[in-house]
Structure 1
C-alpha cells in the first residue's frame, strides 16, 4: 500500500457502498472507513463488504466521524434526496444542514486531507464544504460532470465506432440543468470532432438530452443510480492516492468564473493541481457563463 491511502466514506447508502466495493478491488487503500448516522447500516455494509474482502487486500471497518476527519481522503455521499415536487432550493437548504452536521462532527479535519463531494447538488455542496471545512479550494473537489462526461464519451463512441477512451470530450459547468457540451474542443486521435463526416448528422440537442437525462431514466426504471457514480468516485480516489495527475472534469472553484463548477483539472495528492481553460466557441462560452451565473446566484446565499 502507498501513503495517502486511508479513505473514509461518509454515507453508507447505495452510493457509498458501491464506491467502497469498487475501491476494494483496486487494492490501493490501506483502510476504508465507513461512517453513517445509522449504526445498523454501517454494521450491515461492513459485514457484507467484508465477505468481498476475501479477494481483496483492503481492510474495511465502521468508524466515527472524528476518525473520518483524520483520513487522507474524505468522500461524502451523505445527503437528503429530492422529494417529488420539491423545489431545488429547498433540497439545497436541507442538504446544507446535513453537510454542516457532517463536517462539524469530523472536526478537527486534517489540514492536508482531500474532501471529495459526491452528494447532490454537487456544485453547491462542494462550495459549501469548502467554506465549512476551511480547507484550501484545491483540496475540496466535487465529482461534478465526470459521470456526465463518461456518458457522453460512451454515446459518441457508438456514433463514431471508436472506443470511448479514445474520445476527448467534456461536459462542463453545472452537474445539472445548465450543463453544456464543449463540442468545439472535442477530438478523436487529435482530430477535431467537427471535422468528421458523422459530426454533421449529430443532433446536438438530442445528445445533450440523452446525456443529462440518463440519470432520471435509471431512477425511473429502478429507483436510484449508484454503480456509475460509485465507479467514477472510486476512480477519482485512485487518481489522488497514486498521484496520477490525470485530467478529469470535476467540480472545483474556478477563479475565472468566481464560482464552483466543473472544468477539466489535473488531480493528484493535494487534490486539484491545475484547472485547464477549454477553447470554446462564442456560443459555448456564453452557455458556460450562463451556467456559472446560475450557480453563483445560489452559492452567494451560502
Structure 2
C-alpha cells in the first residue's frame, strides 16, 4: 500500500528560505499531503526536498522535488517565488519585475487543475494575487494571498503580552493592504466578546506604539538575519491546511472584495472551495479613511495589469 497521500501541495520557490519554511511547516503540522518542492534552482529544490523528507518519517505527509507540470495538477499551489525590492527601488519597479515572474510561473504550470487553489505569498501580495488570478484564469475565490495574516499574528502576540490572554482568544486584525497602507481594526477587536479597548489593561496603552512595533518587526528581523521565513511559513501552511481540510476558519487573507472592486487583506472563511465568504468589519471614521487609502493604492497598481 502506497504511503503517498491523496492530496498534494506544491510550493513554487521551495528551494528558498520562505518556500522551505512553508514546506517544513506542512510536514511538522501533520498535514496529510504530498508536499512538492518546485524551483527553477533545481539543485536547491532537491536539497530542501531531501532534507524535509527526513522529517516526514513519523508524520502523515511526504515531501519530494517535482516539476512545474506536476505542480499545476496539485490541489493547492503556493507561490513564494519573486524578486526582492532593492534599496531605493520604486515599488512600481518591483511589481513590474514580479509580474513577469508570476506570468512565467503560471505559464509553466499550465494546464492548471480546474479545482486547484492558488495561495500567493510573494510581495506585494495583494497586487500579485490579482495578477495571479488574471493570468491563471481560475475563479477569484480559488486564488488568494497570505495577506495580513502574519501581521495580525504579530498584533495578537503584542496584545497577549499586555492583557495576559492567549493570542488565540484575541480577535483583532491588521487590515487593508499588506504593506505601508495597512491599519489596525481597533473598532472590531474583541476579547471574550467584549471590545478589546475596554479591557482594563488597555486603558493606558499607546495604540500607535503597538502599530509601529508591528510595522518595524519585519525590518528588525531582516536586519538581524537577512530575511523572515518561519512566521510566514506557519501562516501559509495553516491556510493550506484549511483549504485541504475544509475547516472554514477565518483568516485575514488577500481575497477579492466585490464592494471595493479589488483584492485586499480582509477576513474571510477558507475551505475546500477557497474563499467561502468574506465579512463586513466594523470601522470607525478614521479607520474607514485608512481603508480608502489602501483600496486606492491597490486598485491603482492593479489597473496597470488589466
Same fold (TM over 0.5): yes
Q: How far 1:191 sits from its partner (Å)?
A: 0.7
Shift of 1:283: 1.2
**Which residue in the other structure is 1:25 paired with?**
28
Instruction: Confirm or deny that 1:177 pairs with 2:186.
Output: no
* 2:287 aligned partner: 284
| Structure 1, unaligned runs of 5 or more | none
> Match of 1:130?
133
The answer to whether the Cα contact below 8 Å between 2:4 and 2:34 also exists between their aligned partners in 1 is: no
Partner of 1:8: 10
Which one of the candidate residues 96, 100, 104 is aligned to 2:103? 100
Task: Give the deviation of 1:196 after TM superposition.
Answer: 2.1
Give the TM-score, by structure 1 length: 0.97
Paired residues in the alignment total 302
Asked if residue 151 in structure 1 is aligned to residue 176 in structure 2, the reply is no
> Cα 1:217–1:266, aligned 2, differ >3 Å: closer, same or farther?
same
Superposition map of 1:244-259 within 5 A: 244-259=247-262
Structure 2: distance between partners of 1:240 and 1:195? 35
For residues 33 and 10 of structure 1, the distance between their equivalents in structure 2, rounded to whole angstroms, comes to 8
Q: What's the CA shift for 1:155? A: 0.1
**Structure 2 runs not aligned, ≥5 long:** none
Give the alignment's Cα RMSD to 1 decimal: 1.4
Q: CA deviation at 1:173?
A: 0.5
TM-score, length-scaled by structure 2 = 0.96
Q: Does 1:161 align with 2:164?
A: yes
Deviation, 1:169, is 0.4
Whole-Å separation in 2 of the counterparts to 1:248 and 1:242: 15
Structure 1 SS opposite 2:304 = coil
Q: Distance in 2 between matches of 1:21 and 1:247?
A: 23
Bigger mean CA offset, 3-12 vs 275-284: 3-12
Structure 1 residues 3 and 50, CA, compared in 2 at 3 Å: closer, same or farther? closer
Whether the 8 Å contact between 1:22 and 1:234 is mirrored in structure 2 is: yes
- The structure 2 residue matched to 1:267, chosen from 266, 270, 273, is 270
Match of 1:201 in 2: 204
- Tell me the distance in 2 between the aligned counterparts of 1:31 and 1:153: 31
